[in-house]
Every structure is written in C-alpha cells, then in structure tokens.
Chains A and B, each alone.
Chain A
C-alpha cells in the first residue's frame, strides 16, 4: 500500500486527532473525576461522623468511656476510617485505630455539643480517614471513566475512518486510478457509480470527462494543423532547395542566416563551413563589389522595397569574374535584428556578351584603338565630369603626311601597316587613361586627360613627332619615313564643347599642313584660320 495514498493520510490524521482527543479528554476527565471522587469520600466520612454524633455527644457529655469506646470502635469498622477518637474537655475518653500522628495526615473533626444545651461544646469527635483507600478508589473511578471515554473516542474515530474510506477515499482512489490509465486521445472516459451522481465525486468525474474531450479535440486540431504545415513546408523547401537561383538570408551587417544549395553552388563556398561560422561577414566574402552590395542591403531595409543590381562575385582561381543579378528585399523583420532576403542568379554569360558587343561598337577593328563614336562619347563624358573652371585638359588631332602616296605606291596592306604602327606608337606615348582613337582614314584623335598647360602639351607633342622619325618597313626591304601634323586645342580655353574643341584642333592642324607638315600647332583664339603657327 502506498504510504502517500489519500486513505493512509486520512487514517493517520483521524487516528492522530482521535489520540489527541483521547489524551486530552482522558487527562481532563481523570482529573475531574479523581477530585470529585475524593470529595465524595470526604463527605462520606463526614456523614459517618454525623451519624454517630448524637451518641458521641452523650458520651462526651457524661464522660462515659464505654459509650465513647463503642462509638469509635463502630467508626473504625468502616474501611474509609483507620482511626477515631472522642475527647471530652482535654481528655480522650474513647480511642480506636491509628492516631493522626501515626499516619501523618489531617484529622476530620466535628465538635460535640451538649445534648441538652446546644451552646455548650462538650468535646470533639475526630477520625483519621483512610487516605490511601480513598485515593485508590478515586483513581479507580477516574481511570474507568477515562478508559471508557477513550474507548468511545476510539470507536467513533474508527467509524469515521470507515465511513470516510467508503464514501470518499475509495471512490476518489478508484477515480484517480482510472484517470491514470487513460491516455488523452484514446477516447476513454471516466464512469462513476450512480450513488455519486450529483455529489463532488460525480462532478469531478464529469469535469474530467469534459476536459478529456476538450483535450482530444485540441489534439486532433493540432495534428491536422501540423500536417498542413508539414506539407506546406515540404513544398516550400522543395522550391528553396531546388531553385537554380541562389536564395539567402543575411543580417544588416552581412552575417548569413541561411542559404540554399544554389547559393553555395554559385559562390563556390563550402555549405557546412559557412553555416557553422554564422558570425562572419559573408557579403564581403562573396561579392567583389561588396560595398555596393552592403549599400543595397541598407537601402532595402531603409526603403522597405527590393533593390537590384548586377554584382561581381569573388572567384579565386578564375581570371574572369562571375556576374550575378542580385535582388535584395527586406525580409519579414523583427525590429532589433533585421534581415534581408537576397536572390541571385548567374548573369556572367550575358555580361560577357554585352561587354563584347560594347567592345565591338567602340573599337576600330584595324588598330584596336577607340573609334570615332567612342572618342566622341569619351570627350563628352570628360566635359560633363569637368566643370568650367575645373581641371584643364587637351585634345590632339593628328593627320599622317604622305599617306595617300604610301597607299597608292605600295598598296593598301602597306597603308594598313603604317596605320597600325603609328597607332601602336601613339598608344605607347600617352598614359593608359588617355584616350587614343582613330577617327577614320589616316586621322587620329587623342584626349590628354591630365595635360593642363601648354608646356606639358608641347612636350608630349614633340615626343610624338620624334617617335615618327623612325622609318616604317612598308614592304620587304622598303623603309619609309612617315611625317605627321598635329593640331592641339585646350579645354576650356579653346572650347567648352566637343564640337568647338575639335574644330579648333582641326584649324590648328591645317595650319601645320599649310606650313610644311610634320609639326604641331596649338590653336590660338582670334587667329585667322589660315594663319600659321610655330
């Protein structure tokens, strides 16, 4: 039997309470009964004395020892009296049994009055009560009362216990046992005996049953919901996992939250490694244009709208960068730790073809220099970037002398060779950032980005002229020296737009041609177009 069971607890409580009641009440009633019994015994002694008082009075009155002796002998025959004495005046005229001195206890005395004169006290009748006997009787009486009471209390406690067991503990433990065997969802219900219909046990069972029903309903709903969520999750996971686009979730500072396999395929990163080190700034690792990527992420968070861009991916080992088209959208965000969803797909092929097309459109196919359109747009762009009063730069228009002659004499191949050679020399003589273009025929055009003053421009022009002094082998064994004429215009002194700059450079170049060729000239404002320079 379980020591913690309700029945044991109730039994122990009732037993303890009954024991306490028995102890306290026994104590109380024992004491009370003892005192009562003792008082009764004393009263009995007094009554005994009153019975013989008249005779004792007579004996004391006349001083009759025989009568007195009869009285005291009669008294000591009672078992509650162990000694008796009658005194007349100072003299003991009758005595039997023990004296007060022997038993060391108080006497019970009554005065004896004269039979014919109640005012005169003629003596005293005193007895020594049998105190041990009286006490013993009192104890016996009190004990039997206490024992009776204890027995009664025990009986009542036992009855209470049995009734509590039958009416409460047993039904409760039965109920608890059945409930213990029920698993919510198995459809079982509690049933109780019909006598409990309407009482607390019946109500408890009813409430538990309705609770079981509610729990079952909720469990079933939960199960269905979980099923729906699982199938949805499977579908979305499929989309996420199988997508050819890289999908990833990053925090504001660039740490990766999650990403799909396509992301790792595109970026060439180790999936396990990245997911383990979630604190790293993956955006900086992935994108070559990481600052642009980060600003897009910030933009998406601030504007709460998606932002897109073509970005380059770091790709160790491959010389050509891979391009991805990236869409950054703010994810469903919690306030303090916002995330951004990124989608990327590979646009490297497209980027390459675009670059190729642009290259074709802007290059002179013979010399590999920029063509006229490229030069025009470069000049326009430079002017747009350089405000009037800002940095100055120069343009050169170059025309070959004697090109028609070479072409006519040695054929187009020789002409082409001359053009290619001159182009190479020009390209070598200026900075990489300077634009060198072939405008068509034998005409070249150079934009000197940083040549801001006439001295610098003059030095470059002289270097170009000097380089042309080396002859070109136009045919096997045939060397020809090709001269050039250079016209120079400065921005913004000689024009603040492409047209006027080119026109003034052209004027300067024609001036050189007129004066004997193979030289350079800087345009001078207000100069007659036909005037010569240098």
Chain B
C-alpha cells in the first residue's frame, strides 16, 4: 500500500521553522486549529450581535456596543446588521468549521491514523495554511473598507453582489478572499487524497482505515472537485465587479446585453450543496469512530457506514436544485431534484441504524468526547429530519428563506459539526498537546452548549414556521410577526447561554495547554488505532518504524483476548 517510506524529518531548530513556517503536518494542524478557534470566536460574537438585534431592536448592544457603533449609541445599524450576518455565515462556514475539522483534524489525523510520517507534499501543506491565512486577513480587512464589508448574505447572489447592489470594495475583497481560500483548500485536498492513496501503512486496506479518515478523504474528494466550480463563479463575479463584464446583470440593471443572475445560483449551489457534506462528512466519520471507541465494541456495520458516506458523497452532487425551487426552474427539474434529494435519506438512515447499533449492547463510558458524539447523533437526527420539509417542493414554497431554513442548516452544519469538532478536540487533545482536558469542565461545557443550541435552533425553526423570513433587521415591522417577540427573546437568551458555555471550553483549553503540568499517558482512552501506538504528544517523525497493520481500527471486546486489555492495536494480529 505504502508506495514508499518517507524519510525521517530532521527536527526543526529555529522558532520560525518550528512554529511558523513548519512543514510538520501536526504543527500545521495546530495552526489551523488556532486559526479556526479565533474565527469561531469572531463569528460567535457576530452571531450574538445578530441575535441581540432581533430580540431587542433599538437597544444598545451591551459592553462593546458603544465602542463598535458610537454613532448610533451602541445600536447595531441596519447596514452593519447585513454585514454581520454575511460575515457570520462566511466566517463560520469557511473560516471556522473548515479549518477546524478539515484543516486541523484533516492534517493531524490523516498521517497519524494511516501510519505515515507526514503528508505526502509538506510544502504544499504549509502553503495551504498560509494562503488560508492571507485569505483570512483579506476578509477581516474588508470590514474596515469605507463602505464596510460584504453585505449580500453568505450566498452573495448577484445582482445584489455586483456593483448594482454593493458598490463598496468590501464585496470585491470578500470574493477575492473566498477565491484564495478555495485555492488553499484545493491544495489541501490534493494533499489529503494523495496521502490517503499512497501512504497507507503496509497491510492497511481502505476498509482498515478509521472512519474518520474515510470522512476526511471523501471531504477532500468533494473539495477537489467542487471548489473549482465555486472558483469559476467567483472569478466571473470578480470580473463583473472589476472589469465590467455582464455575466450576472440582467433586466433594467444591464446597460447592454443580458446576463443571467440565476446562473450564479446554479454554479454556487453546484458547489454549495456538496459543501454542506464537505462540512459534515468529517464529523460523521469522527463520531462513528468515537461511538465505537467508547462503547468498547467494534463499529456496527463499519463497511456499510463507509459505503453510505460514499453514496452520500455521490448523491450530494446531483441534488443542488432544491436550493432554488423558488426561482421557478422548469417543473421537470424541480420534480427530479425533489426525488433525488429524498434518496439521500436512505444512506442517512443507515448511518443512524449503524450508530445506534454501535452503542447497542456496548459497555458505554461517558467521558466528554463520547457525550459530544452522542450529542451529534441527537442534533443531526433533528437536522436531517427537518431537511425533509425543505426538500419537498410545496412546503419549501412556504418555508424557503424563512428562519426554518436557518434553524435546519444550523442543526446540521453548526450544531452537528460544532459538537463533532469539540468531540474531536477533547478526544485528540492528549495526542496533539500531550495533556488531557479537564473532564468536569468538559461536561459543563457540553450540557450548557447542548441546551443553548437546542434552544437557539429549535426556536429558529418555530419562528420560521410562524413565517418569519431571514436576514431581516427588525422583524417586528410586520404585523404577523409581532406575536413572535417572546420566542425571539428566548432564542437570544439561549444564544447567550451557548456563548457563555464556550468560556468553559476556552478556559479549559488555554489552561491545559499553557499551565497544566500533568502529562497524558500514551493511550489514555485505550484505543487501538495507529496514532495511539506512539508517544503523546506525537513526536516530529510520528512513527520510528512504519507500522504494519494487521487488523481493523475498532477491535474492542474480542472474547478471545487474554490479559487485561479489552482492545487490540491495529499492529497486532487479530486473535
């Protein structure tokens, strides 16, 4: 399997080569982790400002409001509100979730779990992070342009995102930043796919890989195929804005010739729907692994889970039209997209069966990573099932662009992916930093986050079904929404609770990394995958000897096992 054995890196000596321009996949993974957590914080504060405005229109945002919006006495002004939700969406999707799950854990886990010494193209890996960094700087810089940041929603549909609707430089910088981030992610994807194909340890077949690697690999495939599609759309949008082409200008707005604003929506969603799965697939993989690890039982139907993930990956490419029912595509297209979308529920249901099958008759322990994983099963159940309303064309006619959609995609993308990401952080912390996070704080973090997020997203779905549409600064100018004031207030309090809960994580995380003395053991969770056969934290070269894989990743509770271990390392022959 392994096409060749990588050399052992020489240990980097200088600060620069060790922490900044490092070729080491583990350091790059950590860089992505910090980067993601930083943006998660920024995006989170933006979310709180949005929620604040919706619950208490006309009230000054507490503490930092006066500093941020002095000219309105601390109240979020409507144009800033539009920037806030645009940047919140963009940051959370592209600059928080993507770096944490794909950047950080993709980089960290893939080589360790397949028994490689590094990514196959370390230089490309480093460039990928630094391009992402440049892109992040551009995005943040766009907040300080004269007319402010992009304000057309994270989808930035033309013609609103052309010069007609947003003349400022912010939108151009937004487009540029995403284009650069796309290049960065594509580089990462090339690296991941190649690494998985060529550097698996001897003896490791594809089905011997942990499901996390399956999830990350499928994500990388989707990234490599569909990010260029977004790239093309963004390029044309940049041309429209900078060079005066008219791809997306039509009607009275077009000075000459006719473009087609809907074309952008097609291109965007051809990318955008797979993007949803790009975000969730790593979380699925990680959760499938963790459930098995803590139920002390082999993953139920691991092959079926892997194949279900693969089929979802394939299906995700042909269902994008359900985002565009209200643009009135031809009825035939609408019907076929509806039917195709529905087929996604078969592999999804198989997941759930397998997840529940994994904990069935297990011997379940509940440390923090496990409760986060169980939390993912819960919230993804809600998120997946509520998708049915939106895949169905007639209910979507009513629910499209309401808060119901917002609630739904936050359940799938924010809640599931966030909880999955936290599960991963708590679980791999000893291997990344050599120390264990505090369990008590972890449990508090989980329960507060879980309560908060269900309050937020369930509340959003309720106001959505009651008719409240998205991206409105003050819903209560509408008579039919006035009755929803208490519900919106409740959602905002839940969001505050969720925000407060994150402090427990930050304190725990920072304390553990910088101040905690106690070292973690090499295999604190008693798990048999390859990364737990090496010291904690992982040394620069990962594996002194490239391991030879002899059994699957989820060997727990084998009755033939003698001795006091209830698991087997992947390097051991199956007893």
Partners in one complex: no
> What is the interface of chain B, defined by CB distance below 8 A to chain A?
none
> What is the interface of chain A, defined by CB distance below 8 A to chain B?
none
